[in-house]
Each structure stands twice: as structure tokens, then as C-alpha cells.
Amino acid sequence: GDDDTYEWVDEVEGYEPSKVADSPTENIQYDLVAVEDEDTGKLTTRHFRTAEAEQLHLEAGAMLLHPELLLYDKAWTDVRVAQDEWLLTATPLNGVVAGDWYTGTGGTEPTPYFTDITFDDSHSRLDPLVFQRGWGAQASMVYSAYDETQDADTVGLPAYASTAWTSVYNDASVAQQSGEGFSVEAELSSGGTYGTGTDSVTFRFPKADDSYTYQSVALSRTGAGKLLVSDLSDRSDEYGDADASSVYPSASSTVSVTLTPSPDGYCLVGNPFTAKMSLRKFFEVNGGDDGALKDEYWVETSMGPVAGEGSFTTLADDYYIEPYAAFFVEAKEVSGEVPESVSVSFTYDMQTLDAAPSSGVKAFFIKATGSLGQSGAAVQYSEEAQDSYSSGEDVVLMRSLTGHSRPVPMVYTEAGGKALSVNRLRSLSVIPLGVYASDEEEYTLTFQGVDYLSEPVLYDAQEDTKTPLEDGYELPLEGSSHGRYYILTTAIEEAESQQETDISVSSRRKGEVSVSSSEEIRRVEVFSVGGLLLGSLSLDEGRVACSLEGLPGGIAIVHVTTAEGMTSRKLVVK
């Protein structure tokens, strides 16, 4: 009853008095659990945590949302990679080095779960054979040249980018920090993964080796077995008497990593979470006016490459990076120079298990789908955009992120002599459309978001035909296509009317000059640098694009006459 009193007795049935705490436990208003104090050996109590585990193991393909809320001593991860294919890879664990990429002979880890792994006779560095590359000061992006020095098959075509990685290395001590990306390829000499019937290799982390044969410095094992994102929560008193809510991350909680960009400013970021990561959320923190990164990124997926701007991608209005995957970004210059290092931050709300519903970003999308995969291009209009190419506003097409990507058809629109995956415009009404593809490869272009444009039309300059576009319209093609197709729009929502005539002149094929204009073209003349007329074409009303064929190769001057007057352009004819 209310008048009952109780006396603390230093005796508990089954325990000697010396094993019982000297005084009652405080904070009895919380759920408690009895534990043995590691220092004194006496029984005491602490808060009961539901998210608690001594050790944690994530199977290949498994995801765990908000591991920063989990109290644990050690985490293990299995990573499964396709064999004989360069991949953009990352790890969520601290303390991983390049030499840790070994596994059992045949491609599976033989060590029992929750057991320290060290290299022994059950492991092999030859089956699978693992190759690795890094991204940093020795790497770069390479642009295809837009001049007469270009290879004969691609001279004059819109410039695209591709990766130039560091050399393959065998320094086992190279640190692979969580939040940073790298590239891995595994090759099985036995031909397949034992016991699974699949063509893949499985690695388990962390490793417990103190040293490796091929290492230049001592191995860095700081934080081994811990997830980087665990630091999103306050770990200073995780088992103490503080309110359980004190270990929860706040909206301002971040973890940061420092990356080394290539000399031209590109970085490879790894997903540090054990769940998917929203790139929209990532750029809200790291892009925009205050972030260190431009709002553009490139991702290699199982279906093909994806490029995007901070608010949407070439295939959707958000993109989610899978666990253990990495993506390219570009750093902003500081005082006109590429910074020596870039700090990127991660917040707890970047992670998710499922893609969020569409946020309704207004853009026009073109998707190219072939037998080997797909690519996409996006066009978005804005009053703040420029009609010519602008770094940080437009996203250049990258044809190969790993350096050994599958030859999927790569669709693009063009501005300023560059092939673009994301093209942000102000008022341009004639948009060149092209595709890089293998010879004789068959694929289909699909047009989506056409309601964003007003009365969009697909113009075929070769056939001089115009096809009104509807959402889902499909165009079957074969091989590369340059200078033939254009997107025409009579008006553009949310954009001011065009103030001046925009004219594009290029040479896509041998002996051919292609011209497009926002105004109707009346006459085209091609002259040599010595003033000799090489060819001319007079047009009926209604043509906004045309081609002249049978011209000699070399430098030429092109005169284009519209109702607004005559404009001259200099170019190299293939």
C-alpha cells in the first residue's frame, strides 16, 4: 500500500553480496536491463535499448536503414560483384584497404560468420584475380576534340567526355575510406562462383590482417568494423544514464569525408550508407550556392549510364545510389583554381529503402534503349539558363565512366559544340538531337514529358519531314545519328521569347555540312578560306535545318542567310 516501506539488501538469490551493486540504480523511470559491469564485475543496470547487437552481418544485397541508431560492437558486410567487369565501388565500413579485396578460391568467403578473417590457404589472390584503380590527382576526364585533330570518324561531332583512370595498382596499403569511390574488377579463373551457379564474386569485410606482402606503408585500421555513418549519432554515452533520445541524430547531424579531385576537378563519391542514397538530398547539402560541388553527376548502372543535375536525372526526377556504389561529381573552382581537396557531407535523411514518389520536375526526356542497355537525355527550360553550353548548368555526355563500359546507345542534345545529357535552355527553339552508337546496332528513341514543350515536333533534316511528338512516341534507329534530327518547338513554357537568331553549323559526315537555325533558312553558301565558292543551297520557306553534301574536306567559311540577315561561321569539313 501507500505506507509500505522497503529496505535495500546487498543480497540477491543466486549471487554473492560482493557481486551486487552498493546502491540502488538511478533513473528507474526508464526501461532497464541488468548487466555485469566490465570494470568491477558487479551487477548493475542501464537503459534497455531495442536497437542493440553485439555483432551485425549484412548479406550481399541486404540493406539496413538508419544503422546510426544501432548500438553494436562490430559490423560485417558481404559485397557481391559481377566478374570480368570494371565497377564503380564503395564501402560503408571504416578501416578498409586495397589489400582486403580477397576471398576464398572460386569466389566465396569460407570463414564462418562473425570470425576474424585473415589470408590463409583457403583464400586466393589468383582465383579470383582482383584489379583496382583509384581516382584522384593522377586521373582526369578527357574530352573528344572538336577540331581537325580529331579522329577521322568523329571530327566535327559534338564533344563528349570519358574517364582516364590511374594505372592499375597492387599497393595493398591504399586506404579506401567510406564515402570515397574506387574501381574494382574481379576475374575468376575457375569460371564461376562455387555453389551459387552465378557469374559473380563475393567479398567479406572487414579483414583482420596486420600486414600484406605488397604494401608501401603500415595498414590503417582506424575504426575497423564500424560504419562511418554511425557517427551521425552521439556515441559519447551510448550505454550511459542519459535519455535514450540523446543518441538519435538531429537534422543538423553530418559526417564528412575529404576527397582528392582530379586536376580538372572531378571527384568519385561513394555511398557510405547501408541503404540507397538520394542524390537530390545529397546535392541539397553539397551543391547549390553554398556547397563545394556543381549540381551535376554521372552514374554507371546495370542498365547503362545515368547523368543528372541536382534536381533530376536523364531518366527520372531523382536518382538513388545503391549501397556499395559510387558516382562522379565536379568540384567548384576556388579563386579560379581547382581545389586540392573537397569535403563532402552526408546526413541521416539521405538514406532510404525505396524510391520516393515523383516530385513532378518539369523536363523533356529522350531515352535510347538497345540490346545492351539504355541512356537518356533531358531538356529543361529556365529563365536563368543560357542557350549555349554552361558548365555547372548543363551536364556533358560521358560515354564511359569505368573506361570499359558496355557500348550502349548514347543519346544527347547539343549546345555550344558539346553533346549534353542534361541541357538547360532559356529560349532556344531548335534543339539538335543525336546518338552515339555502334555500327548496325538497333535501338529505339522514346520521347517523354512532351507536354512540357508547346507543340513539339521531331524534324528529320534528311527527309525534310516533321512529326508532331506525343508522350511515348518511339523512333527506331540503327547506328549513330548526327545532324539529322532536331526538336522544334513553336513556343516554350516559362521562357521568354527568343531575342536573336540562333544558328548552328557542323560537319557530321565526310563532305557534308549541316545547318540549323531558329529562323527559316533562305540560303546557305560554303566558301574555301581563299574565297572559292564550294557549294550553295537555296531553300523554300519553312526549312529550319538542311545539309550540303559533296564538299571537299578542310577549313571552310559558311554563310547562312535568314530573314534576319546573313551570318558567317567557320568550321572544318570532314
The C-alpha atoms of residue 371 and residue 366 are separated, in whole angstroms, by: 17
pTM given for the model:
0.77
The SS3 assignment for 526 reads strand
Work out the pLDDT band at 136, boundaries 50, 70, 90: confident
> Average pLDDT of 473-491?
87
Does residue 505 contact residue 569 with C-beta atoms inside 8 Å? yes
Q: What is the pLDDT of residue 266?
A: 93
Q: What is the pLDDT of residue 70?
A: 86
User: Tens digits of per-residue pLDDT, 519-561?
Assistant: 888 888 888 876 788 888 888 776 788 888 889 888 888 888 8
**Mean per-residue pLDDT of the chain:** 82
Burial-class residue 210 by CB neighbours within 10 Å (0-12, 13-18, 19+). Answer: exposed
Q: How many CB atoms lie within 10 A of CB 263?
A: 12
Q: What is the DSSP secondary-structure string of 408-436?
A: --EEEEEETTEEEEEEEESS--EEEEEEE
The residue behind cell 535552355 is 425
| Residues of the chain above pLDDT 90, percent | 39
Residue 301's H or E segment, with its range, is strand 293-301
Give me the residues paired with residue 474 across strands. 446
Q: What is the pLDDT of residue 15?
A: 55
The C-alpha atoms of residue 381 and residue 273 are separated, in whole angstroms, by: 34
Does residue 389 contact residue 424 with C-beta atoms inside 8 Å? no
Q: What is the pLDDT of residue 495?
A: 35
- pLDDT at 45 exceeding the cut of 60: yes
Residues 6+ apart with CB under 8 A from 136: 166, 259, 260, 261, 262
Q: What is the pLDDT of residue 193?
A: 44
User: Tens digits of per-residue pLDDT, 438-457?
Assistant: 888 899 999 988 888 878 89
The residue behind cell 535514450 is 244
Q: Which of 141-155, 193-207, 327-341, 464-478 has the lowest mean pLDDT?
A: 141-155
Residues 6+ apart with CB under 8 A from 385: 393, 424, 425, 426
Long-range contacts of 148-155, Cβ-Cβ distance < 8 Å, separation of 24 or more? 148/555, 148/572, 152/574, 155/507, 155/572, 155/574
Give me the residues paired with residue 333 across strands. none
- Pick the more confident residue, 259 or 304: 259
Work out the pLDDT band at 316, boundaries 50, 70, 90: low
